[in-house]
Chain A
């Protein structure tokens, strides 16, 4: 590609936040010559990571060409690249890449990166990357393309997350990494980590894997890195690289094939191959063992150009950047945080498993006293004992210090007397899902607490409005719906009932922030967001099953969506009785859209815990005695039909939720299913997927999101 095309590409992004390449000459000790150190810096503080857009790459390329000339003239003996504090580079500017409308532009972007990095690898003098902080994707590839690398023990996140984002590490990462650290480790870094909640490496882990040749502490990282570079240049130090491999070695070839196969199995298990990117990473890895770097580069560029045009990539950027990183920090509809009241003591009604989990979370994160109450001392003691045991587990795993363990344990107490709530600012109930039980609990609590004390319910399916009806102060009641397991799932649905006042709501949002949860404001409508969507989905699949669709067809019909688990597995994990109970509530609220399965009821009545059970060969089967409990219709569906029916049902349900005003917009629906149900980002949550497959148009006559938000922009 020509410089003119790169310039044209750069011209498409006049608003790019350019990361500049500043060069300083440093005289190496012992008259060893001049070392040119490039600092990549966008001139903004640590809240604005440095990224690589087209203008940035053009500038870096120009700087590197200049240094190559200087090297040829013998003016410099080495070149280093490092970043502003806390960052090497956070990778390609995804919001820019997402906007590349034409395949050619994507190809240019891919080639531009390769062009620039190729210069870095061919300066005529050794190049060094000093990985001082976060280095993701194209940022880490700058380091991989350098001749040598040092890393800081304080460097936070090092990763090649492209498989997660919907791309491939196509600026040389997929070629260099397996050669540097071995194919198995490369698969771990390029496939397993990205597909495991986008896990990243620390500096020491990267050093252990052999990604970096030397490691230094942050206090004098740049100084020590330069001192090390000087030694390498002088021939006094050389990296070990014990994990590096020669792909031509037959034993390595065998390992290579094994690593690719293991990677494919991992991708299948994690994503059901619902997103194209992870497999493409493995395709290139498999192919490039016998390729030269340039040949692999061509393949990498073609693949990048192709993937940049996919909606899976665009949906991921929408889900990751626009929702999880941005929208989650400014919840739509949350009142001014200044209205929030301090919460210095919390009461939890109930001492069962959910209540105990809540007590632990409050004590650990908010560090305020938490009192559990229940109807008898035995239950109370059991609840407190659960919290103490969980704290001891954390201590045993060295996740917390013994002082922190003592503090947390001391914060959690139990009582059979609700009088212990007298000075609480926030009391949440986690008792049986029965409206009258909850109303009675709140009546008792209200007699004890101050008029300002906030009352919260963790109900998943009951009406918060109905719960508030008989309260003296209905404005103080708010829904505070957690997801299981409470400590892990990042979502909190905050439910506003008609009378809930702004101060109460603001306090609930501040509390969520203190708990490190992402809160989404929802209207009081049965099952709120996540459970309503999940149960509509399960309901459709179970209905198809009841109609006569074979279990394995029904339960695998949604695999093209790449959901974290199949519907039958999900219902077993939730618990069939609970799932059935909630389904009944939804049926009562919304009618036939939420059909109650008689077959499921029979399983519940007979204490069957799961449709599937391990068969003789280890594969899941439905046991004969389970089958015998049920009866089926005679209208089986194909997998395609089940999938389409489910897509349409979801489009209908979400369309209704939006028109009912359950949440502020489709973005909140997507945020909820990503954080509350673990739905994949390549679906964009769910609404971009429903737009993509046409369900929104089929059912509602319109898309949820305009073209370009989470998909390819409209032509023209």
Chain B
């Protein structure tokens, strides 16, 4: 009974699966970074082409949408980058594309938006991803904040600087000390180094050739930002640029980075029809707003909402991929849910503090890593990917591991089932 084409019956919600995801190695923003002189759109193109190569069962003309996120949508990230990247990647001209922005959760929103389209029957297969070349597009460059933000105290101007919001979070949760964030950050570096050592990171990476004046072509195959071997003592030395005698440093926050990600999502039926891999099933997602001044707390309400949508509790979640914009923001989340700082379910491969955070691209990196952890650990049934978002938001997506013994294929809304769809089966999308 697989449904093909875009002729799914209206109002029939379909299961959405994560087929595959890749990313470029992340680079350090700036003139010395590996992607200085490389275009953002080219980074996206490498990801899309790699996805098509890795999934030869997917005919290019079956891609129904290409949604690419970027926080700054000008220059090499402008001109409707989902469409330009599709054309530059050599996808058929019949494949449409669009650009999308929700700051740090850009790629995550590209995924949820297109996934909703799949669920609704508008698409069978999509490519969703994100890019940020923060070297070419420094954060906030060209932005023109409305003066009413200030005059009417809608948002504290300090909230437009993410570092300040992280200091604010420390103020709100005095129990989260600099020692705790530095310890967390050092662990992130160590976990990433260990994951690299076990070859858990490399399979998701697309090699990217770059050429710089006076150096010639090289091929980048690993992330540039990590500082393996970083100790708590090393971190203690660092400056606190956002506040004198503050707590937030370059060491316990994600850096300024360049990189791109992309993933293939499909309806469960299309994945089966085309023989595509099913690495995760989308269970639910939610976005939530918080005070912009403490934007880092966003994942808390977003996760609560997503759990509620899924009919799950936090205790059902076996793996967490939380974006590490700032260590304090991760710890505020863990504290809220009563999870230990070093809980092994959290960011097994380390996080953005080590690997970097090219804003709009990071959501799919979290998904790639969760998918690999699902593969390694069939005992885990549910995992979440979550992140905080500038101007006070959080995003959470809950995923199910198809390798788990209880993975219920019949959760999908086949026509036989839909008459009894009111059963409160766990994992049913709301």
Contact = CB atoms under 8 A, between A and B. Distances in A.
Contact of B208 (A27, A85, A221, A223): A223
A39 B213 CA distance: 11
B209 A222 contact: yes
Interface in B194-235: 206-209, 211, 213-219, 221
A38 B49 CA distance: 25
A668 interface: no
A162 B213 CA distance: 31
Given A220-B49, A223-B46, A223-B207, A43 B217 contact: no
Contact of A82 (B46, B207, B213, B217): B217
A41 interface: yes
A219 B89 contact: yes
Interface string B85-120: 000111000000000000000000000000000000
A84 interface: yes
B46 to A, nearest CB: 6
A219 B88 contact: yes
Interface in A675-696: none
B45 interface: yes
A41 B89 CA distance: 26
Given A219-B88, A223-B46, A37 B211 contact: no
A26 B50 CA distance: 19
A229 to B, nearest CB: 11
Contacts of A656: none
A38 B45 contact: no
Interface string B167-186: 00000000000000000000
A22 interface: yes
A23 B214 CA distance: 10
A219 B221 contact: no
Contacts of A38: 216
A29 interface: yes
Given A217-B90, A219-B45, A227 B207 contact: yes
A22 B215 CA distance: 6
Nearest to A225: B209
Contacts of B221: 26-27, 29
Interface string B321-332: 000000000000
Nearest to B209: A222
Contacts of A20: 214
A26 B218 contact: yes
Interface size class of B (residues with CB under 8 A): 20 to 34
A41 B218 CA distance: 13
A573 B211 CA distance: 53
Interface in B34-70: 42, 45-46, 49-50
A84 B219 contact: no
Nearest to B221: A27
B209 A220 contact: yes
Contacts of B218: 24, 26, 37
Given A217-B90, A227-B207, A222 B215 contact: no
Interface string A279-297: 0000000000000000000
Contact of A226 (B49, B50, B219): B219
A219 B216 contact: no
A41 B215 CA distance: 9
Interface in A216-242: 217, 219-223, 226-227
Interface in B344-392: none
A24 B49 contact: no
B214 A22 contact: yes
Contacts of A227: 207
A27 B89 CA distance: 25
Contacts of A222: 209, 217, 219
Nearest to B207: A223
A37 B90 contact: no
B216 A39 contact: yes
A226 B218 CA distance: 10
In the A-B complex, the 3 residue pairs with the smallest Cβ-Cβ separation, listed nearest first, are A39-B216, A22-B216, A222-B209
Given A26-B218, A84-B211, A226-B219, 17 more contacts: A20-B214, A22-B215, A24-B215, A26-B221, A37-B216, A38-B216, A39-B217, A82-B217, A85-B211, A217-B90, A220-B45, A220-B49, A221-B209, A222-B217, A223-B207, A226-B207, A227-B207
Interface of A: 20, 22-24, 26-27, 29, 37-39, 41, 43, 82, 84-85, 217, 219-223, 226-227
18 contacts: A20-B214, A22-B215, A23-B216, A37-B216, A37-B217, A38-B216, A39-B215, A39-B217, A82-B217, A217-B90, A219-B42, A219-B46, A219-B49, A219-B88, A220-B209, A222-B219, A223-B208, A223-B219
